[in-house]
Amino acid sequence: MKILDFGSLNYDYVYSVEHVAAPGETISSYEMEVFCGGKGLNQAISAARAGAEVYLAGLVGEDGGLFMDKCKSNGIDASCIRQIQGKSGHAIIQLDDRGQNSILLYGGSNQQMTKEYVDKVLGQFDSGDFLLLQNEVNLLDYIIDRAYEKGMLIFLNPSPFNEKIKACDLAKVSVLLINEIEGGQITGETDSGKVLDLLEERYPHTAVMLTLGEKGAVYCCKGKRYRQDIYQVKTVDTTAAGDTFTGYFAALLGEGAAVEEALQVCARAAAITVSRKGAADSIPAREEVDKFHIHK
């Protein structure tokens, strides 16, 4: 079983600020750093560091060389990634003193997918392979339809949530990974229990992972609900915590782990990610996650 992650690759420009700028406000940052990120790259690195066989597909611009190095150093197969004219995607991230962030995306090459490219990539995968998707590339609905026809198991993290998600047939998704806000945007409900009830009713064949920030996560699958608390750590930067959880979860399910065990490993991995700065680079390797468990 292979994991194909069809997604975004961004350069993250991270500005450290005392607080995130309010509308109309001008503030100074006290540090600026550039990291490799993008939900596609982060989730691919997470699944690979968890131990899975990962393939990343996506489009980078003329400035995209660093992404290839990142894939290589993480053992990710990057042969599906194409370099095109123009700029790679990037994100402008304000990171405040409490480790909370605000993210502005520029799609760049991530928004240049063509149907011909999608078909070519998916042609290299088979029924039963996992497909990891987020909402930072164009043609998401097309990718879902084609992958479903092939019998791939689709993991969708519909983030950032927007109108494009409404064009996607969520009944074709095997595992939907959302946070509370996205749960509300999809269902119109604010109570997490009701969000899950509604999604279960609408998409009975789709398992749902609902992350609840400080309150942990609930996984709803085949009529059963599994709860997972967070591991408390000093928060330095929450960027890529959700991506860590998603990538680890796909990898763990792929290796046949029980849901309870997978959830615990994911929570430990995400805790390590929030305890350090950056996106892709902050995601821990499996060894570190296992040790974190022992020393807690």
Q: Using CB under 6 A as the criterion, which residues of the chain lie in contact with ligand RIB when the complex forms?
A: 8, 10, 12, 37-39, 42, 91, 103, 136, 239-240, 242-243, 279
Q: Find the shortest distance in angstroms from Cβ 36 to ligand RIB.
A: 8
Select 129 or 243, whichever has its Cβ closest to ligand RIB: 243
Within a 10 A sphere around the Cβ of 53, how many other Cβ atoms? Answer: 17
Contact 126, 150 (CB under 8 A): yes
Phi/psi at 192 (nearest 5 deg)?
-65, -35
Q: 86: left (phi > 0), else alpha (psi -120 to 50), else beta? A: left
Q: Find the shortest distance in angstroms from Cβ 40 to ligand RIB.
A: 8
Q: Find the shortest distance in angstroms from Cβ 101 to ligand RIB.
A: 8
Q: Find the shortest distance in angstroms from Cβ 72 to ligand RIB.
A: 19
Select 239 or 275, whichever has its Cβ closest to ligand RIB: 239
75-104 burial, b for 16+ CB within 10 Å, e for fewer? ebbbebbbebeebbbbbebbbbeebebeee
Q: How far apart are CA 40 and CA 133, in angstroms?
A: 7
Strand partners, 219: 209, 226
Select 240 or 263, whichever has its Cβ closest to ligand RIB: 240
Select 27 or 104, whichever has its Cβ closest to ligand RIB: 104
Q: Find the shortest distance in angstroms from Cβ 39 to ligand RIB.
A: 5
**Coil vs helix vs strand at 125:** coil
Within a 10 A sphere around the Cβ of 286, how many other Cβ atoms? Answer: 17
Q: Find the shortest distance in angstroms from Cβ 12 to ligand RIB.
A: 5
Catalytic residue status for 5: no
Residue number of the CB atom closest to ligand RIB: 37
Select 158 or 242, whichever has its Cβ closest to ligand RIB: 242
Q: How far apart are CA 114 and CA 195, in angstroms?
A: 34
Q: Which of 5, 12, 237, 243 is catalytic?
A: 243
Select 11 or 125, whichever has its Cβ closest to ligand RIB: 11
Q: How far apart are CA 252 and CA 130, in angstroms?
A: 12
The rounded radius of gyration (Å) of the Cα atoms in the chain is 18
Residue count of the chain:
296
Active site residues: 243
